[in-house]
Chain A
Amino acid sequence: MSETGTGIGARVKRKEDQRFITGKGNYTDDINLPKQTYAYFVRSPHAHATIKSINTAKAKKMPGVVGVFTGEDVANDKLGGLICGWMIHSKDGSPMKAGPHPVLAQGKVRYVGDHVALVVAETKELAKAAAAAVSVTYAVLPHVVDVADAMKAKAPVHDVAPDNRVFNWSIGDEAATDAAFKNAAHVTKIDLVNNRLIPNAMEPRAAIGSYDTGTESYTLYTTSQNPHVARLVISAFHGLAPEHKLRVIAPDVGGGFGSKIFIYAEEVACVWASKHIGGRPIKWTAERSESFLADAHGRDHVTHAELATDANGIITGFKVHTKAAMGAYLSTFASCVPTYLYATLLSGQYAIPNIYAEVDAIYTNTAPVDAYRGAGRPEATYVVERIVETAARELKIDPAEFRRKNFVTAFPHQTPVIMCYDAGDYAAALDKALEMSEYSSFGERKSAAAKKGKLRGIGLSAYIEACGIAPSAAIGSLGAGVGLWESAEVRVNPVGTVEILTGSHSHGQGHETTFAQLVSDRLGVDINNVSIVHGDTDKVQFGMGTYGSRSGAVGMTAISKALDKIEAKAKKVAAAVMEASADDVEFKNGTFTVKGTDKKMAFGEVALSAYVAHKFNSAEIEPGLKEGAFHDPSNFVFPAGVHICEVEIDADTGVTEVVSYTAVDDFGNIINPMIVEGQVHGGIVQGIGQALAEGCVYDKDSGQLLTGSYMDYQMPRAADVPNFKLAFTCTPCPSNPLGMKGCGEAGAIASPAAVMNAVTDALGLRDVAMPATPQTVWKAMQPMKKAAE
């Protein structure tokens, strides 16, 4: 592997950048279709209410209005509701309690922003004006917005769950874990809140739905991370049209972070309603305030955890109880986030013999909660790394050494919570991070900071995550409604250029470059002669899309397998043309040679030969050079690393500054270090955002979203974060031929714990709530100040 060139390991500049830096990107809202109309949604102003009546007569008469649709129209058309695609069973064996989630509200609204009616008009201004004329009469019901209070709510969000509990799920051996606690020398206890976040990809969600009355087929342009899954769900569950009569196109997508995995009501409503207005396309682009109200949110856990240690500081047991908010409806993958993506990672990097976790998933009258960058794994890391740090402090053991003495050191390692870690070297990452962060001289920096009125703290986070999602049979046995393999097709053109059709989808990850690097590396084709085709169900074979850091380990492995087949076929063609045995043909650096001779053919020549089919018996070798593959991973992949954060807190104002941040990550083999570093930077900043700035707040009394704009919800800006010190260690992943793990989520998984361990270290407190805004930190400092006076 070399950092130069265009093959695997090279810092290749991105091929997709040309269009983005010149304003020629093609995002959904950039697309306009002939005879297009515009949608605007009437949304609930109440957190919880019965709909007494909806009067659309006035709106329908407004200028330029093409149609107004409500839940009644949806019901009359038998359009299916939104689904949650992962079945979780409670401890007692009962299935999760999924309430109905119609595309437009029927009978009740359950959160502020719930979609009540769709207004379609000639312009977006006219649609918006007419939406204001839709008259909805509500009878307001009691609501609940906090997960901590929800089980005592006066009016359940869904009748099917009278105590608002969707499920009560558990994992691990409770009796064995209790026994470990009985014999413990020390028990550390902690209560943590993982604050609710609003994803905020910079491109708001958008859709254009149209119906072709001639072919009786639908097309949906949408901001999706997984267009085939969207087509499957809209076809099979909403029942809109069979899959071959529905085309879903996800063009350039401006960031996802999980929030664009899900199948949402607005997109379905637009494509559905198009048929009802004679097939005219309906375009909807979310205003940012709608993104805040109605994109699926992330996190929102309340957790109590206890850690048992023996007299030598060895962890012997871990017990966790989490209440996880689901919001008002179960979003597409909501149920797997606080269960199989969360509690299965509670062993962290540690050899913990006994773990037991219980999770209550709970409805609240808020926007639905689903996967957001990391999805369950940041929440797990936060619990593990905060309690490990706290235990070390209580036991007066250096937190780095406490971690080291509990690390898993032999692989494979079976945890008590399903996961089997396949490879890693946790001490190597720790050593490197300690050295790069100058951990041993922290005391000097702390003293220097104190002299200028600053409280300096240091915090570690030794995270592990499971990504490369996921082995289909394994997740099927755990309740998943889909398989999580990936597909690829390699089309070699007669002139030797290559098109890769991938089921993965790029919305910032740089697939057009990294996937082309793999092809260039394998076939010796110039990287500029490789194009990556994705995001269109009419062009690309069924694929599962991009999330869970899966497009390298799973998506590229599918490509790699298809390339194996291309190579094998091309060898047969080359052998026939060069009049040799296929076994004697070798392929290296884009050239086929015959062992022991000077015969050779370039890759392009073989491609042309395959298509002209003059020189082989086409009864034995089919013409053409095109191969496909589906790859189903045999295990998750397990990126891991150590992040170390240093903060300085202004003792007078409570302002926290991240002054140093070191990240050492093991992603296995890396295709393009430049892109991987970019992923880590972005992830760390999202995690710093969670720790210090971002927090979704619903008003307890009114149920209104208080953080509904960038004026109220603090996004990290350039001046809020420092430059980061990055390094990689490498234990290649044994479960895929490229040895890759995943890098898309690691930064967001590791960083909140690192930052908060630093903040609590600086303040000498057990816990400070996230986001540790100046106000929160200032308040937390007051008792200490009073005590000092």
Chain B
Amino acid sequence: MPAITMKVNGQAVCGDVEGRTLLVEFLRDKLGLTGTHVGCDTSQCGACVVHVDGKAVKSCTTLAIACADSEVTTIEGLAKNGKLHPMQEAFREHHGLQCGFCTPGMIMSAVDLVKRNGKKLDDETIRHELEGNICRCTGYQNIVAAVKAGAANM
């Protein structure tokens, strides 16, 4: 089993992985970062979204070994110095979550879409950009409101 190193949430980490080990398995099983979730097996639901070298990826379809020497940010690394990221705060403020299972991936995708589309977002852009994240609880309305508000505060 090859050993890989990676920077996760600002910390250098290393671990043995099999060639087939997925990034999400490395994060959850090896590093105990269970905030990143697995909701499907076809790369559709987006519960597993993390940032790799600043870009949102679905960690359930990314090999851990392919992320060797990369910088990875998970939901656990989004708050800085005990202060929530504006997008996290916005999800709470706008009731953008219910069961919470899709939420980490949803927030990570939201942060990424703001980076790519800017802070002033209309509903249509947000809804279109969230195509890769499924929520079964909220009906999306409050998620859209949260992303809009979070973007403005980023």
B104 near A508: Cβ-Cβ < 8 Å: no
Roughly how many angstroms separate A508 CA and B93 CA in the complex, as a whole number?
16
A717 near B136: Cβ-Cβ < 8 Å: no
Most buried by A among B41, B100, B103, B126: B100
Cβ of B92 within 8 Å of any chain A Cβ, yes or no, is yes
**A20-B103, A203-B101 given as contacts; is B41 within 8 A of A288 (CB)?**
yes
B101 near A22: Cβ-Cβ < 8 Å: no
**For residue A291, which residue of chain B has the nearest CB?**
B40
Q: Indicate with 1 or 0, residue by residue over B75-110, a CB within 8 angstroms of chain A CB atoms.
A: 110110000100011011101011111111001000
**Which of A16, A18, A202 lies in contact with B39, CB distance below 8 A?**
A202
Q: Is the interface of B mostly helix, strand, loop or mixed?
A: loop
> Which chain A positions have C-beta within 8 A of B103?
20-21
Roughly how many angstroms separate A287 CA and B139 CA in the complex, as a whole number?
24
> Which chain B positions have C-beta within 8 A of A508?
98-100, 137
> Which chain B positions have C-beta within 8 A of A200?
136
Roughly how many angstroms separate A254 CA and B38 CA in the complex, as a whole number?
11
**Which of B38, B84, B89, B140 lies in contact with A685, CB distance below 8 A?**
B140
Most buried by A among B88, B89, B97: B97
> Which chain A positions have C-beta within 8 A of B38?
29, 204, 285
B136 near A682: Cβ-Cβ < 8 Å: yes
Cβ of A134 within 8 Å of any chain B Cβ, yes or no, is no
Task: Enumerate A718-755 residues with CB–CB distance to B below 8 Å.
Answer: 718-719, 721, 723-724, 747
Cβ of B152 within 8 Å of any chain A Cβ, yes or no, is no
Cβ of A611 within 8 Å of any chain B Cβ, yes or no, is no
Q: Range of interface residues on chain A?
A: 35 or more
**A23-B35, A202-B45 given as contacts; is B142 within 8 A of A678 (CB)?**
yes
**For residue B101, which residue of chain A has the nearest CB?**
A254
> Which chain A positions have C-beta within 8 A of B138?
678, 681-682
B39 near A719: Cβ-Cβ < 8 Å: no
B75 near A23: Cβ-Cβ < 8 Å: yes
> Which chain A positions have C-beta within 8 A of B59?
none
Cβ of B131 within 8 Å of any chain A Cβ, yes or no, is yes
A507 near B42: Cβ-Cβ < 8 Å: no
**For residue A723, which residue of chain B has the nearest CB?**
B141
Interface pick from A401-409, A520-528, A708-716, A769-777: A708-716
Q: Indicate with 1 or 0, residue by residue over A109-133, a CB within 8 angstroms of chain B CB atoms.
A: 0000000000000000100000000
A287 near B130: Cβ-Cβ < 8 Å: no
Cβ of A675 within 8 Å of any chain B Cβ, yes or no, is yes
B102 near A202: Cβ-Cβ < 8 Å: yes
Task: Enumerate B107-132 residues with CB–CB distance to A below 8 Å.
Answer: 107, 123-124, 126-128, 130-131
Roughly how many angstroms separate A201 CA and B136 CA in the complex, as a whole number?
6
* Nearest CB of B to A278, in Å: 23
Roughly how many angstroms separate A257 CA and B99 CA in the complex, as a whole number?
11
Roughly how many angstroms separate A372 CA and B35 CA in the complex, as a whole number?
27
Cβ of B37 within 8 Å of any chain A Cβ, yes or no, is yes
Cβ of B56 within 8 Å of any chain A Cβ, yes or no, is no
* Nearest CB of B to A142, in Å: 31
* Nearest CB of B to A229, in Å: 20
> Which chain B positions have C-beta within 8 A of A98?
none
Cβ of A701 within 8 Å of any chain B Cβ, yes or no, is no
Cβ of B44 within 8 Å of any chain A Cβ, yes or no, is yes
**A202-B99, A253-B99 given as contacts; is B123 within 8 A of A21 (CB)?**
no
> Which chain B positions have C-beta within 8 A of A287?
41
Roughly how many angstroms separate A397 CA and B74 CA in the complex, as a whole number?
58
**Which of B74, B101, B124, B134 lies in contact with A715, CB distance below 8 A?**
B134
> Which chain A positions have C-beta within 8 A of B92?
13-14, 17-18, 21
Q: Indicate with 1 or 0, residue by residue over B20-44, a CB within 8 angstroms of chain A CB atoms.
A: 1000000010000111111111101
Cβ of A548 within 8 Å of any chain B Cβ, yes or no, is no
Cβ of A459 within 8 Å of any chain B Cβ, yes or no, is no
**Which 8 pairs across A and B sit closest by C-beta, in order of nearness?**
A23-B35, A254-B101, A20-B100, A681-B139, A508-B99, A23-B75, A710-B44, A508-B98
Point out residues on B near A: beta carbons under 8 Å: 20, 28, 33-42, 44-45, 47, 74-76, 78-79, 84, 88-89, 91-93, 95, 97-104, 107, 123-124, 126-128, 130-131, 133-144
Extra 20 A-B pairs, beta carbons < 8 Å, given A27-B101, A288-B45: A13-B93, A21-B89, A21-B104, A22-B75, A22-B76, A22-B88, A23-B35, A23-B74, A25-B101, A200-B136, A201-B101, A202-B136, A203-B99, A508-B99, A510-B98, A677-B95, A681-B139, A718-B131, A718-B135, A723-B123
Point out residues on A near B: beta carbons under 8 Å: 13-14, 16-25, 27, 29-30, 125, 200-204, 252-255, 257, 285, 287-289, 507-510, 674-675, 677-686, 709-711, 715-719, 721, 723-724, 747
Q: 28 A-B Cβ contacts within 8 A?
A: A17-B91, A19-B100, A20-B97, A20-B100, A20-B104, A21-B84, A21-B97, A21-B103, A23-B35, A27-B37, A201-B101, A202-B39, A202-B47, A203-B99, A254-B101, A288-B39, A507-B99, A677-B95, A678-B142, A681-B142, A682-B138, A686-B139, A710-B42, A710-B45, A717-B133, A718-B140, A719-B127, A723-B141
